[in-house]
Amino acid sequence: MSGLFHPKEIPSTSMPHYEILPTSEENPWPQPRPMSKFRSRSRVLWVLIVITALAVLGLPWLLLRSSRPASTASQNSSPWPPLNGASQTLNKRVYLQVGHLGPEGFGSILQHLKQSIVLSRALDSSLVLASTESEHGYRTSDIFNGDGLLLETRRSCRLRDTLPFDRRDHLVRGLCAGDSYALKEMAEIKRQLSVCTSILDTAEGELTEDLNGCVVDWIREKLGPSPGSLYARPNPLPLPLPIPPLRPITIGVHVRWGDTVGSSSSQPPTTFRGSMSIRSITSVLSDIRAAVGGHANATQLTIAMENADHRVLAQLGETGPYSILDSGDGLADLRALSQNDVLLLGESSYGVLVHLIAPPGLSIVELDGDRGKYSNASDIGRDLVFLGRDYSVERLRASLFGERS
């Protein structure tokens, strides 16, 4: 087994070259002539006149300009084409979610703020989360808020005064479906809030596990690696693939932290709740390796497991080399895991998030019940199959190599 996976350090670049201007002793530029007292007083008078004119004429213009809604293009370009006609612009008006979202990680937190995502975009505003520390030791607000927000907070309005909580879910689902009644109602809400420079969303208790297709653009813009970044896949494999592949097929497996964190020192856990079962992992890995015809080095395995438990890993029975993804940086590990050609996931919220930000490829998921958290996650540019439903060796080969039976 290879050592712990750590994101590569970005090499430091050489210092830029600056031309040093000569000192005053060797300054080649002409020196200014000393001014007379009369010229000095005249120049001061003219400066005072100009400053006064700017104050009188310019101040109203500045106030008018600052009162207009402003936006600036987002610097985080996305490697995926926009879905649902989403506009990736950074709005000056702030939509502040101040409700308590809980101490969960950023995978689970997503299920508590999807409606805020939809409403903030419908109101042409930038969603900002109140500071929330997760049980993993980081602040989810730092991850989702990002940097460089241009926000205006002089006039704040509460969303619940215009949109009662009991109407919220129905409206959001109508907006995601493009229903005319929802678009009409949203237009009226938007009109009433047009004078607001910030919108306060105090809703708590939201749990929305579907609507993934409605918020995937926002998620990718916030969490997905941008093109050319350290975590972006440098050489995506176009589907279908040739046999043997032009490079190793990368396989990423997620073992949920909550499935192993409570294990005793004497007995490792054998039953997972949010991860693909050990038996299914070994079976699918065998199918993938058989599909590439046993070519040497045709696959490359990475297992993402926070606080990796090697007793659990030993149950996989892997004899060849593989990598452990456990850098201590939750967002970096999420991005690195998502870049694998094939993902083996369970029904944890973290696994859903990995699938949503992943580039084109194949995600294989094992569920205990219905699709739940993976609802509306099929038509986002990446194949999604479920064990026990539509997964088969034939479907696997069709997704990877375009083979049809």
- pLDDT string in tens for the chain (405-residue length): 433 333 333 333 333 222 222 333 333 333 333 444 444 455 545 545 544 544 444 434 333 333 333 333 333 344 344 444 444 445 578 888 877 666 677 677 788 889 999 999 999 988 887 766 666 666 767 777 766 555 666 778 889 999 999 999 999 999 999 999 999 999 999 999 998 888 999 888 888 999 999 999 999 988 887 665 555 665 556 667 777 777 889 999 999 865 555 555 566 656 677 789 889 999 999 999 998 876 667 899 999 988 878 888 888 888 888 999 998 888 889 999 999 999 999 988 899 999 999 998 899 999 876 667 898 898 888 999 999 889 999 999 888 887 665
Specify the amino acid at residue 319: T
Give the sign of the dihedral formed by CA 315, CA 317, CA 321, CA 322. Answer: negative
- Residue 191 tokens read as 């009109």
Contact between 345 and 365 (Cβ < 8 Å): yes
Question: Measured between alpha carbons, how far is 204 from 100 in angstroms, rounded to an integer?
Answer: 6
Quick check: pTM over 0.85? no
Looking at residue 236, what is its pLDDT? 59
Q: Which domains does the chain have, with CATH numbers?
A: 73-223 (no CATH), 249-401 (3.40.50)
Looking at residue 82, what is its pLDDT? 44
3-state secondary structure of 133: strand
Looking at residue 273, what is its pLDDT? 74
Question: Measured between alpha carbons, how far is 304 from 349 in angstroms, rounded to an integer?
Answer: 14
- Residue 128 tokens read as 């900002």
Cis before 240 (ω within 30): yes
Residues forming a β-bridge with 364 = 344, 385
- 């093109």: which residue's tokens? 227
3-state secondary structure of 17: coil
Contact between 95 and 64 (Cβ < 8 Å): no
Looking at residue 169, what is its pLDDT? 96
**Pairing between β-strand 362-365 and β-strand 342-345 as defined by DSSP bridges:** parallel
Looking at residue 66, what is its pLDDT? 36
What lies within 8 Å, CB to CB, of 309 at 6+ separation is 260, 263, 268
Per-residue DSSP letters for 256-294? -HHHHTT--SSS-----SSS--HHHHHHHHHHHHHHTTT
Residues forming a β-bridge with 405 = none
Give the end-to-end CA distance of the chain in Å, rounded to a whole number.
Answer: 37
Q: How far from chain centre, in Å, is Cα 221?
A: 5
Distances (CA, A) of 316 to 94, 206, 247, 285, 313: 48, 37, 24, 10, 6
Q: With b meaning 16 or more CB within 10 Å and e meaning fewer, what string describes 364-394?
A: bbbbeeebebbeebbebebbbbbbeeebeee
3-state helix, strand, coil in the chain (%, to 5): 35, 15, 50
- Residue 124 tokens read as 């042409």
Looking at residue 151, what is its pLDDT? 61
**Pairing between β-strand 71-73 and β-strand 126-129 as defined by DSSP bridges:** unpaired
- Residue 129 tokens read as 């989360």
Looking at residue 107, what is its pLDDT? 74
